[in-house]
Amino acid sequence: MAQKKLKNPKKKTKNVFLELKEKNKLKDKKTKSFTFLYFVIAFIAIVIINSYIFKTEVKNIPYSEFKELIPSGKISDLIIDTETIQGTLLLEGGKKTKFLTSRVEDPELVKQLQENKIKYTGYYENKIIKAIVSWVLPFAIIILIWNLLLRRMGGAPSSVLNFGKSRGKIYGEDEIKITFDDVAGVDEAKEELKEIIEYLRNPNKFLNIGGRIPKGILLVGPPGTGKTLLAKAVAGEAKVPFFSMSGSDFVEMFVGVGAARVRDLFAQAQEKAPCIIFIDELDALGKARGINPLSSHDEREQTLNQLLAEMDGFDTKTGVIIMAATNRPEILDPALLRPGRFDRHILVDRPDIKGREEILQVHIKGVKIAKDVDLKVIAARTPGFVGADLANLVNEAALLAARKNKNSVTMEDFEEAIDRVVAGLEKKKRVMSKKEKEIVAYHETGHALMAEFLETTDPVHKISIIPRGIAALGYTMQLPTEDRYLMTKKELLDRLCVLLGGRVAEEIVFGEISTGAHNDLYRATDIAKSMVKEYGMSEKLGYVTFEKDRKPLFLDIAPSFSGKDYSEETAREIDNEIKAIIDGAYRKTKEMLMSNRELLDKVAQTLLEKESIDGEELRRLIKGDKVGEDADQSGKKQD
């Protein structure tokens, strides 16, 4: 028990989850002993049937022998059936046994039996017992098996009648004690959710003004970053009922059940409004329909359709807000993400160094910490850790301290715990080495500086080298200042330079290049190719386009392949032109970055230190303290 407590540092959140788990386990045990009872009953039933049909120790004797036995007086108590004769046979030594013989057409038999004074009777079949055995029992067994199956499939003891009932857990308004204080390092997400809480607390204030509240909020981000926790915190803060379900709770073997559950969930929620419906792991249910034409998923599709219909069917005025969480937004059905459904996406990304420190702060709350522990140092040593990893880290450190019989957790324990956890994570290839981190930092700085230097490119919104954040290694996010429908040749060339910036920076600083630029080069080549083949931007080849527009207009699928309609020679020339364009951009990029080598170092070092820099800070680094223009939401990124 002592260990258990340490394992879950006395945090309210943890304890709530733990209690729930414990409760579920208890329920499991109950149902298990219940099913065991069924098995015993079934077994006894089978034994009874067996003993009824196969009577014990029946000796089969031929009819001739039976005839010979009649005068001997050794047989008694005959039961004469239509086909058999049964009775008791006296063996040598006074023992008795049952015997059975096949009946033969023998009119003399009765007379003979009469003469020898043997008791005999005809056979009376017990119709009731037979009916029970042949009719009622099989049904009973089938129902038993059905019940067992149902129990297997769902945790709750469900009968056929409430099969379509929602499986969600309902928490009352005061049941959830998690608040925003328990969630740290995700300030942007919290900020966005505050509006929702405000609304749930006081819907009329918003409705009177005529404001529209988003219906569906989708929390996206890597596993363990606190999406589920955030959803609970929203419910805890708003003090409204909270319907919690997992996407897989809807998915069932039988067609139509999931849809019925969705209906039931929404009906229940509307009764309790204002409230929150939370669907965790939405991807289990919201996978894009018809991706795989070979396997049909009627059930899941129906469930998804029902969810879409329900989301359209009610409006936020009723005070029901749907939240969902997923770590695989890319596989979700586009219909789910459309306006009016889950149109508000909140990114819950891996925390940066400051965020990690805050999360540690939350998790060391119920743990006795020695004075020498510096959370800043721990945060600096754990790049790429998510909230769940950090919670685990604190727990590991506490366990280590307990094992050494210390009465508080020291820095030494934390260091050891980090080594352990990192070793575990390294196996999963999630933690970068120092050298790798440096390469990524220079790579991203290269992109960012080029984006800032060139006139036509979008300003940088954020640079990050948090490992496995929303991108594989790091990213530089640019935000367009205006919508673009046309791009000039100069803009395309500038964009090429930004794409190449990453690789060029690596080359300048380390004298070698890594595989990290693969995607950049792919996209750069794509742009150059389009410039030559589609837009007629090559001087050598002139205003000619070599690519027919075969792409489907609204669907994002690859056009069907068809052969090229130009000669080999032209093909070679096209290739040369593409190469020339890229080479030109490369030279320009190298020149610009070389002449700004000091700045490159300064920004990269800052990035290494802080792990993420926003656009303003970057511009401040570039030109003293002058603050650049502010950027807004949604943009594109370079890996």
Structure tokens at 304: 């998804």
CB of 507 to Zn ion, least distance (A): 13
Piece of 115-123, 195-203, 228-236, 467-475 that binds Mg ion (CB under 5 A): 228-236
For Mg ion, which stretch binds (CB under 5 A), given 227-235, 333-341, 475-483, 536-544? 227-235
Is 452 within 8 Å of 618 (Cβ atoms)?
A: yes
Q: Which is nearer to ligand ADP, 14 or 165 (CB)?
A: 14
If you ran DSSP here, which 8-state letter would residue 557 be given?
-
**Closest CB to ligand ADP among 276 and 517?**
276
Q: Which stretch binds Zn ion (CB under 5 A): 40-48, 145-153, 512-520, 629-637?
A: 512-520
Confirm or reject binding of residue 326 to Mg ion (CB under 5 A): no
Specify whether the CB–CB gap between 274 and 196 falls below 8 A: no
84-90 and 75-80 beta bridge pairing: antiparallel
Chain position carrying tokens 């290739």? 575
Q: How far apart are CA 301 and CA 305, in angstroms?
A: 6
- Determine the residue with CB nearest ligand ADP: 387
Q: How does 109-118 read in b/e, with b if 16+ C-beta sit within 10 Å?
A: beeebeeeeb
228 part of the interface to Mg ion, by CB under 5 A: yes
183 or 500: CB nearest ligand ADP: 183
Q: Which residues pair with 617 in a beta bridge?
A: none
If residue 80 lies in a helix (H) or strand (E), which one and from where to where? strand 75-80
Orientation of helix 597-610 relative to helix 615-622, angle to 10°: 140
Residue span binding Zn ion (CB under 5 A) among the ranges 69-77, 454-462, 495-503, 551-559 = 495-503
Site for ligand ADP in 357-386 (CB under 6 A): 359, 362
444 is catalytic: yes
If you write DSSP's letter for every residue of 147-164 in order, what string do you get? HHHHHHH-SS---STTTT
- Output 226 or 459, the one with its CB closest to Mg ion: 226
Active-site residue among 281, 444, 577, 617?
444
Query: What's the first-to-final CA gap in the chain, in angstroms?
Result: 47
CA dist list (Å): 214 to 23, 148, 270, 283: 34, 43, 16, 20
Is 244 a residue that touches ligand ADP (CB under 6 A)?
Answer: no
Count the residues in the chain: 639
Selected from 87, 274, 459, 502, the binder of Zn ion by CB under 5 A is 502
Q: How far is the CB of 503 from ligand ADP (least distance, A)?
A: 33
Instruction: Determine the Cα–Cα distance for residues 394 and 363; give it in Å rounded to an integer.
Output: 7
Helix or strand run (H / E) with residue 45: helix 12-53
502 binds, among Mg ion, ligand ADP, Zn ion, none (CB under 5 to 8 A by kind): Zn ion
Are the C-beta atoms of 121 and 78 separated by less than 8 Å? yes
284 binds ligand ADP (CB under 6 A): no
Least distance from Mg ion to the Cβ atom of residue 328, Å: 12
Q: At what angle do helices 597-610 and 568-594 cross, to 10 degrees?
A: 80
Nearer to Zn ion, 273 or 607 (CB): 607
**Contact of residue 362 among Zn ion, Mg ion, ligand ADP, none (CB under 5-8 Å per partner type):** ligand ADP
Residue 387 near ligand ADP by CB under 6 A: yes
Measured from the CB atom, is 345 or 523 closer to Mg ion?
345
For residues 246 and 302, which CB has a smaller minimum distance to ligand ADP in the complex?
Answer: 246
Count of Cβ atoms closer than 10 Å to residue 90 Cβ: 15
> Which of 243/586 has CB closer to Zn ion?
586
- Compose the 204-233 pattern: x for residues touching ligand ADP by CB under 6 A, - for all others: -------------------xxxxxxx----
For residue 208, the Cα-to-chain-centroid distance in whole angstroms is 38
Q: Is the dihedral of CA 147, 150, 155, 157 positive or negative?
A: negative
The site partner of 520 among ligand ADP, Mg ion, Zn ion, none (C-beta below 5 to 8 Å per kind) is: Zn ion
Whether the ω angle into residue 274 lies within 30 degrees of 0, i.e. cis, is yes
Q: Which of 89, 109, 118, 183 binds ligand ADP (CB under 6 A)?
A: 183
Provide the binding-site residues for Mg ion, judged by CB under 5 A. Answer: 228
Interface with ligand ADP (CB under 6 A)? 13, 183-186, 223-229, 325, 359, 362, 387-388, 391
Q: Which residues bind Zn ion (CB under 5 A)?
A: 502, 520, 638-639
Provide the annotated active-site residues: 444
